[in-house]
Amino acid sequence: MINPNEHPLFEERDLEGLFRKTWEIYKKHFGWLFLYSFLGILVLQSFLFTSRLREFMTFDYLNNPEKITEQMGSLFILMVVFFIGYSILYLFLHYYILYQEWKPENNHFILIKESIKKFALPYLGTMFLAFMILMTGMMLGIMLFVIGMFAAMIYLATVFTPTSALLIIEEVNPLEAITGSFKLVHKDLWKTLGYIVVFYILYFVIGIILSSITLAPFAGNFFQFLNPETSTEMAKTSRSLLPDISPAYILISSATSAVITPLAPIFSILIYFNLKYK
């Protein structure tokens, strides 16, 4: 069990300090963080594009709306696989960063085994609870129109940012992790919310830029898709091409995602210690 007061990252930082430390940790562990992120995302994307679930994405729902209910089973399987897959990936990334910064001599295979054995089920339970609370908050927010929905989403996303680190470090159950996150974030809600909003704006901008570079060969098709006269035909063409996506595309797409994926766990860990220090 990690004592947060003795961890090297236990320190209060301003926004500049958080960004500087995030970048420092990212560079320090980039090789392994990229590798593990790449392998995890590659497995999930390969499953998506090589399994029969791709039929769900390529089905022509506009001309066959009555078939939508028949595809719900495939959609459910897809959601469950991606929920579990990305949860396990983010669990390990959090665990790896925390322990490599604390005791760098830790064996990676032991870290993988420990993270899954000790925290897989509690982490999945915590993420499911967080997801349900987030969806409920957004649905209630809709009653206050779109602004209310986004306000609820931003607030709850802020509250749940340190949840993963809290679960691992304090070794609590899912309900305690959720309630603990609420209490922790409300120590300094508005400043923390500002930090997280700025981080994720930059995070998504970087992701869009990297994705644009990856999808550059398809830029011409994108602009044609914006043309109402060709959009329907382009949509049909896109659906027909999806099953034939090459392994090279899956590799490049996975690598692109793996470049930025570790940034979120690093920042969320620093937010946890930032609030814990107060």
Answer yes or no: is 161 within a domain: no
Domain range for 240:
4-118+184-277
Residue 67: what pLDDT? 61
> What are 205's two structure tokens?
């901008």
Answer yes or no: is 169 within a domain: no
**How far from 9 is each of 51, 188, 192, 196, 276, CA to CA, in Å?**
42, 18, 17, 18, 11
How many domains, the chain? 1
Query: Residue 218: CB partners within 8 Å, gap ≥ 6?
Result: none
Residue 161: what pLDDT? 95
Residue 36: what pLDDT? 97
Q: Compute the distance between CA of residue 11 and CA of residue 277 in angstroms, rounded to an integer.
A: 6
Q: Compute the distance between CA of residue 231 and CA of residue 256 in angstroms, rounded to an integer.
A: 27
Q: Compute the distance between CA of residue 50 and CA of residue 42 in angstroms, rounded to an integer.
A: 12
For every one of its 278 residues, what pLDDT tens digit does the chain have, with 9 covering 90 and above?
Answer: 788 888 999 988 999 999 999 999 999 999 999 999 999 999 998 887 776 555 665 555 556 655 666 666 667 778 888 999 999 999 999 999 999 998 887 889 999 999 999 999 999 999 999 999 988 887 877 766 667 778 888 999 999 999 999 999 999 999 999 999 999 999 999 999 999 999 999 999 999 898 887 766 655 444 444 454 444 444 444 444 444 567 777 888 899 999 999 999 999 999 999 999 87
Answer yes or no: is 150 within a domain: no
Q: Compute the distance between CA of residue 274 and CA of residue 160 in angstroms, rounded to an integer.
A: 14
Q: Compute the distance between CA of residue 91 and CA of residue 95 in angstroms, rounded to an integer.
A: 6
Each residue of 18-38: b (16+ CB within 10 Å) or e?
Answer: bbebbeebbeebeeebbebbb
Neighbour count for residue 80 (Cβ, 10 Å): 10
Answer yes or no: is 155 within a domain: no
CB-count burial class (<10 Å; 0-12, 13-18, 19+) for 177: buried
Answer yes or no: is 130 within a domain: no
Answer yes or no: is 178 within a domain: no
Answer yes or no: is 27 within a domain: yes
Residue 225: what pLDDT? 42
Q: Compute the distance between CA of residue 277 and CA of residue 159 in angstroms, rounded to an integer.
A: 17
Residue 275: what pLDDT? 94
Answer yes or no: is 73 within a domain: yes
Q: Compute the distance between CA of residue 42 and CA of residue 53 in angstroms, rounded to an integer.
A: 16
Q: 0.75 exceeded by the pTM? A: yes
Query: Residue 249: CB partners within 8 Å, gap ≥ 6?
Result: none
